[in-house]
Structure 1
Amino acid sequence: MTEDNKASLLRGNAAIMEGNYEEFLALCTDDTEWTFVGDTVLKGKEAVRQWMATTYTEPPTVTVDYLIAEGDFLTAVGTVTMRDENGEKALYNYCDVWRFRDGKLAGLRAFVIKTGV
């Protein structure tokens, strides 16, 4: 199960980097809930879709340094480069804790810190 979850997340990240957000969303449950710690909470696939449409004005570049899995949880640590609120490319470090349910992404707790350009 943990290897399947890792493969699923890596497949989803690849889809995001290709700008295929619907392929990524197909990996999520309808009631997925994403918490960006200290910022916002997205409830449901439609909320995530809208967030992606406004946040990913162009596909980001995602690098995964570590994947740590246990049971229904998968932690991903890495970097993402994307446009910031001013339209400038920026580098962010992240630690995402994903919760899977029935093989799909059901929840996210994301710790994201802007670290440079």
Structure 2
Amino acid sequence: MQDLSRGEIQMSDKNKAILEEANAAIAQGNYEGFLSFCTDDAAVRQWMATEYVEPPLNIVANLIAEGDFVTALGDLTIKDEDGKAAHYSYCDIWRFRGDKMVELRAFLTLQAPKGVRILASSVLPR
């Protein structure tokens, strides 16, 4: 088991608080406020400019932090240009540099509409 120093624990808590503040800015439609928490070279800047027609509904179920990383698990509803909502479950893994978010690895799974079942299978190598 890894022994985290007090400084690493405090940094993890600080990074979680930064992500919570950034998400609150998005919820208010303040995209520039959110981006103020990102480094200038963060790729999320270009993505947000094209994807968020209006603020998404983001319900964070868990925040897990260790060192320079914060992982957010939750549900996200995003509307397209026609106002049609798409519902996703997500896992975002943010990497921090200092007090700024520098990198995002996002994993989204489209949720099935009510009454529809999605069956999935996978073949594992022997």
Please give the range of the TM-score, normalised by the shorter of the 2 chains.
0.7 to 0.9
TM-score by length of 2: 0.75
Q: State the alpha-carbon separation in 2 of the partners of residues 116 and 20 from structure 1.
A: 29
Q: State the alpha-carbon separation in 2 of the partners of residues 73 and 21 from structure 1.
A: 22
Q: State the 4+ residue runs in structure 1 displaced beyond 6 angstroms.
A: none
Structure with greater strand share of residues: 1
Correspondence for 1:71 = 67
Bigger relative contact order, structure 1 or 2 (CA pairs below 8 A, ≥6 apart): 1
Q: State the alpha-carbon separation in 1 of the partners of residues 50 and 38 from structure 2.
A: 19
What residue identity is the alignment partner of 2:68? D
SS class of match (2:54): coil
Q: Please give the root-mean-square deviation of Cα atoms over the aligned residues, in Å.
A: 1.6
Do the aligned residues in 2 keep the contact of 1:90 with 1:116 (CA within 8 Å)?
no
Residue 17 of structure 2 corresponds to residue 21 of structure 1: no
TM-score by length of 1: 0.80
Give the aligned length: 103
Instruction: Look at both structures and tell me which one has the larger radius of gyration over its CA atoms.
Output: 2
Deviation of the 1:111 alpha carbon? 0.3
Percent identity between the aligned chains?
55
Deviation of the 1:4 alpha carbon? 0.8
What residue identity is the alignment partner of 2:12? T
What residue identity is the alignment partner of 1:106? V
1:39-50 matches, cutoff 5 A:
48=45, 50=46
Q: Which runs of 5+ in 1 are unaligned?
A: 35-47
1:1-117 matches, cutoff 5 A:
1-34=11-44, 48=45, 50-84=46-80, 87-116=83-112
